[in-house]
Structure 1
Amino acid sequence: MPDWLEIVMRSLFFLIVLFLITKILGKKQLSQLSFFEYVTGITIGNVGAELATKVEGNIIHGVLSILVFALAPFLAGSISLKSKTFRDLVEGKASVFIKDGKVMEDNLKKEKYTIDELLALLRKKDVFDVSEVEFALLEANGDFSVMLKKQNQPLTPKDLNIPVAAVKEPQTIVMDGLILDEPLSTIGLNRHWLHTELDKLGVILENVFLAQANSNGELTVDLFDDKLKVPSPQEKPLMLATLKKCQADLELFALGTDSKEAKEMYSKNSEKLQKAIDKVAFILKN
């Protein structure tokens, strides 16, 4: 066999071996690498590349070497689950950079960060004043976490005692012009509802690139033709407007009748409807 063909075959073989090992090791190898996993990952890649291009190398020995380095993270992970000391040694610990608005200079030096780099990390978190920070730390995986002081944190509906409707994940129900029945049924809808909503928008299914629906039964559509615009969902605003009109009509009926009994009935139901509107208005406005 020619040398170049053998190298091609070796490359394909080790590519498959490395791929299978990476799949077995899991997604953490791709996202959150500890120092130990980083070193073993580089080593495995180097061993595979060396054996793939070196014709005289022993394939069996190469596979054995890769398996040894692949086994190491498994053993380290098992020990880490049982020993915090070992886990801190292998995976590292978070380093506090700011505490109560005060920069921890010693920790910065330990992690080899300059004050300019710290300020850059803060700016990425939309923080420009160190004194506004209650707590900031560098995670073991290299991520930077910041908690602002209470008075500097954005207001939430909870802070203002404003009730907010629960939000559920929208479901993708059409993709590339094809209906996805499983997510459609997940939110309690069906194909008949979908076709009805598309008819309201004046859109045919074949023209829909992407369609999503939320738990409130609102449909958003993106078409293949980007020049065409589809109106935004109006179900909730229309419902709120209808309720307000009904309440106003009841008040008018109460004013327009001479019957004391009818006037009392209209007024009473108008008040009930107004209370119901007050309870659901925040849902229908959002």
Structure 2
Amino acid sequence: MPDWLQIILRSLFFLIVLFLITKWLGKKQISQLSFFEYVTGITIGNVGAELATRVEGSIVNGVLSILVFALAPFIAGLISLKSKTIRDLVEGKASVFIKDGKVMEDNLKKEKYTTDELLGLLRKKDVFDVADVEFGLLEANGDFSVMLKKQNQPLTAKDLNLPVASVKEAQTVIMDGEILDEPLSTIGLNRNWLKTELDKLGVTIENVFLGQANSNGELNVDLFDDKIKVPSPQEKPLMLATLKKCQADLELFALGTESKEAKEMYSKNSEKLQKAIDHVAFILKN
């Protein structure tokens, strides 16, 4: 067998081996790497590349070598689950860079970070003043986490005691002009509903590149032709407008009638409808 063919076959073989081992180790191996996982990951890649191009090398010995390096972080991970000491040794610990708005210079030097690099990390978090930060930590995996002081944190609906409707994940129901039935059924919808919504927008399935339905029963679509503008869903604004019109009509009826009983009835129901509008307005506006 010629060398070039052996290299192709060995490369494909070790590509499959490395893929299977990486899948076995889990997603952590390709995202949040500890120092130990970083070293073993690089080594496994180097061993695989070396054996794929070195024709005279033993494939069996190469696979054994890769398995040893793959087992090391797996076993270390199992031990780390039960031992805080081993976990700190293998995965490392977070370092406090900022505390109460003050930079911890010793920790900065220990991790070999300059002041400019620290300011750059803060800017990535949209923070431009160190004094605004309550805590700033360099995580064991290299990520930088920031907690602003309470007075510098953005207001939330909870701070203002405002009721907020829960939001569920939007489901992709059309992709590349094809209907996806499983996501449709996940949110309790069907093809008839989808066809009705598309008719409202004036588009056909074949023209839709991506279609997503949210938990409120609204369909948002992106067409293959970017020049065509699709109107936004108007069901909720129209419903809110209809409710407000009904409430205004009741007030007008109360003012226009001379019957005391009718005036009282219209006024009472107008107040009830206004209270209902106040309760649902925040949902229908968003």
| 1:57-136 to 2 correspondences below 5 Å | 57-136=57-136
Gaps of 5+ in 2: none
Match of 1:225 in 2: 225
Q: TM-score, normalised by structure 2?
A: 0.98
CA–CA distance in structure 2, aligned partners of residues 213 and 61 of structure 1: 53
CA–CA distance in structure 2, aligned partners of residues 100 and 73 of structure 1: 36
CA–CA distance in structure 2, aligned partners of residues 205 and 63 of structure 1: 49
Match of 2:31 in 1: 31
CA–CA distance in structure 1, aligned partners of residues 12 and 168 of structure 2: 45
CA–CA distance in structure 2, aligned partners of residues 50 and 205 of structure 1: 50
Equivalent position amino acid for 1:32 in 2: Q
CA–CA distance in structure 2, aligned partners of residues 23 and 107 of structure 1: 36
Equivalent position amino acid for 2:80 in 1: S
Match of 2:178 in 1: 178
CA displacement 1:95-147 (0-9 Å, x = unmatched): 00000001000100110000110001001111111011000000000000000
- The secondary structure found in structure 1 opposite 2:98 is strand
Equivalent position amino acid for 2:246 in 1: C
Deviation for aligned residue 1:207: 0.8
With 99-108 and 162-171 compared, the bigger mean Cα shift is at: 162-171
Match of 1:48 in 2: 48
CA displacement 1:171-193 (0-9 Å, x = unmatched): 11111111111111221211111
Equivalent position amino acid for 1:239 in 2: M
With 80-89 and 259-268 compared, the bigger mean Cα shift is at: 259-268
Deviation for aligned residue 1:39: 0.7
Equivalent position amino acid for 1:250 in 2: L
CA–CA distance in structure 2, aligned partners of residues 63 and 201 of structure 1: 57
CA–CA distance in structure 2, aligned partners of residues 192 and 56 of structure 1: 64
Equivalent position amino acid for 1:3 in 2: D
Equivalent position amino acid for 2:4 in 1: W
Match of 2:213 in 1: 213
- The secondary structure found in structure 2 opposite 1:67 is helix
Match of 1:237 in 2: 237
Deviation for aligned residue 1:212: 0.9
Match of 1:169 in 2: 169
Match of 2:270 in 1: 270
- The secondary structure found in structure 1 opposite 2:229 is coil
Over the residues paired in the alignment, what is the CA RMSD in angstroms?
Answer: 1.0
> How many residues in Structure 1 have an aligned counterpart in Structure 2?
286
Equivalent position amino acid for 1:257 in 2: T
| 1:12-27 to 2 correspondences below 5 Å | 12-27=12-27
Moved over 4 A (4+): none
Q: Once the two structures are aligned, what percentage of the paired residues are identical?
A: 88
- The secondary structure found in structure 2 opposite 1:165 is coil
